[in-house]
Chain A
Amino acid sequence: MNVPAAISVTGLRVARGGRRVLHDLDFAVPAGTVTGLLGPSGCGKTTLIRAVVGVQIVEGGAVDVLGMPAGSPPLRARVGYVTQAPSVYGDLTVAENLRYFARVLDAGPERVEEVIATVRLDEHAGQVTRSLSGGQRARVSLATALLGRPELLVLDEPTVGLDPVLRRDLWDFFHDLAESGTTLLVSSHVMDEAGRCDELLLMREGRLVAAESPASLRERTGEDDLEAAFLALVEREQAPA
């Protein structure tokens, strides 16, 4: 496959609070794929995602997104970002939140209806966001990121706390988006979501353990289960040379 990279990272180093949290990362995310960023909690996934979106102060290295340095002003209209904690206004209704962000992004009012339907919140459109469940609030946050039809969608743990049916539907929706040309970078700390991705970035303690497709990971480790494959890689790395 020779797909242009939507994200290309070389030698990325990030320090937080005087401690190195990302160590010389190199990888590329092919355009039009659903790429999973997986690893245990605290391994640096959010920091990496923030560097891709361009909101993280980095120590060194280069992060290129859609052909320009991460955080460049033109990217603000082309990259959608969903933080782990839903960043929406709790005292506004679902529709009010989306109408406001739609005005900021210059998306039409019909787009608000569309994204509300996409995340299945039609029945809650008039409800104050604070009164929704955690999973519903997360979907309002996701809907906000969809408003501007971004070319790259970066999602930090979007499926935490969702019921299994909704989780499956969201993953299907991510693949529909990818088929229409959107690139998705989705983080998760649950290894059973790895199988739903086209490409995987496995992280541990601020380093990349693997950057390949689930099939190639299974083949390389001889493990069918992706969690077992992850463990095999970690053990192989720790074994004395």
Chain B
Amino acid sequence: MSPRIAGATAWRVLAQLRRDPRTIALLLVVPPLLITLLRYVFAGDEAGFDRVAGPLVGIFPFTTMFIVTSIAMLRERTSGTLERLLTMPMAKLDLLAGYALAFALVAAAQASLTAAVAFGLLDLDVAGSTALVVALAVANAILGMALGLFVSAFATTEFQAVQFMPALVLPQLLLCGLFVPREDMSAGLEAASNALPLTYAFDALQRVTVGGALGGRGALDVAVIAGVTLLALALGAATLRRRTG
């Protein structure tokens, strides 16, 4: 593992993103706009808005980084640059760390802007610290990045890669407890939600936004998020093959 190579890779990924201002605009503008839309959807129901929008600030980066990373890594694979990098003195971890660093920075910008709009302009009220919500958003973004990186190995075209979002992220969103509390779900669905990483991301966010603090259970959620991130990165690294047929 080389900080020089990981840093250079993060810089390169950000330089590529800079060449695509429309994507940057979409990344930064869409989540605040969606939260704003939600504010009007809930109209007079401020408690409802607080309950849903608080955790959503921390979940948007998860979904966007999942898509962005799976496409970026797919391009790296199909353009031959991945094979070139793997014939150079570069550890797989350098590449993964570079991506993680670059997209964590993007996620931090995205989450901060979304939080500034939600808390500053839309009077979103949460019980706990808003900084903690942003920190969890960044952790969730890295989780989304790690999962996106792993699943990119199973896509051969960009059409396939974008379909992984509805296929793998939406079910997690439906089951995580945002729409219906998990304890009200059937036993089977609740068990399924226990196996999905977004459940823990949502639980941690809900503890901060509604409960006011992470607490022991919330710390456990964070540990699960970190564990799944590391597992996904390890699985992702295993899909980066130096030798292929």
**Which residue from chain B places its CB closest to the CB of A145 in the assembled complex?**
B84
Could you give, for residues 86-117 of chain A, a 1 whenever the CB lies within 8 Å of some chain B CB and a 0 otherwise?
A: 11111110001000110111100000000000
Q: Write the residues of chain B forming the contact surface with A, with a CB cutoff of 8 angstroms.
A: 4-5, 8-9, 11-12, 15-16, 19-20, 79-81, 83-90, 242-245
- The chain A residues found within 8 Å of chain B, CB to CB, are 16-17, 53-57, 71, 73, 76-77, 79, 81, 83, 85-92, 96, 100-101, 103-106, 128, 144, 148
Residues in A neighbouring B244, C-beta threshold 8 A: 55-57
A to B CB contacts below 8 Å, 21 in the list: A54-B243, A55-B244, A56-B243, A56-B244, A57-B243, A76-B90, A81-B84, A81-B87, A83-B80, A85-B80, A87-B81, A87-B83, A88-B79, A88-B81, A91-B16, A91-B20, A92-B12, A92-B15, A96-B15, A104-B85, A144-B84
- Find the A residue at minimum CB distance from B90: A104
Task: Specify which chain B residues have a CB less than 8 angstroms from the CB of A81 in the assembled complex.
Answer: 84, 87
Q: For the complex, what is the distance from the CA of A54 to the CA of B86, rounded to whole Å?
A: 10
Query: Contact between B242 and A71 (Cβ–Cβ < 8 Å)?
Result: yes
The interface residues of chain B lying within 8 Å CB-to-CB of A104 are 5, 8-9, 85, 88-90
Asked if residues B89 and A103 are in contact (CB atoms below 8 Å), the reply is no
Residues of B within 8 A of A128 (CB): 19
Nearest chain B CB to A80 CB, angstrom units: 9
Across the interface, name the chain A residue whose C-beta is closest to B84. Answer: A87
Known contacts A54-B242, A55-B243: A89-B79 contact under CB 8 Å: yes
Residues of B within 8 A of A87 (CB): 79-81, 83-84
A87 to B78, CA, bound (A): 9
- How distant is the Cα of A100 from the Cα of B7 in the complex, in angstroms? 10
Neighbour of A79 across the interface among B9, B81, B87, CB < 8 A: B87
In the A-B complex, the 10 residue pairs with the closest CB atoms: A87-B80, A103-B8, A76-B89, A100-B12, A87-B84, A91-B19, A77-B89, A91-B16, A57-B245, A87-B81
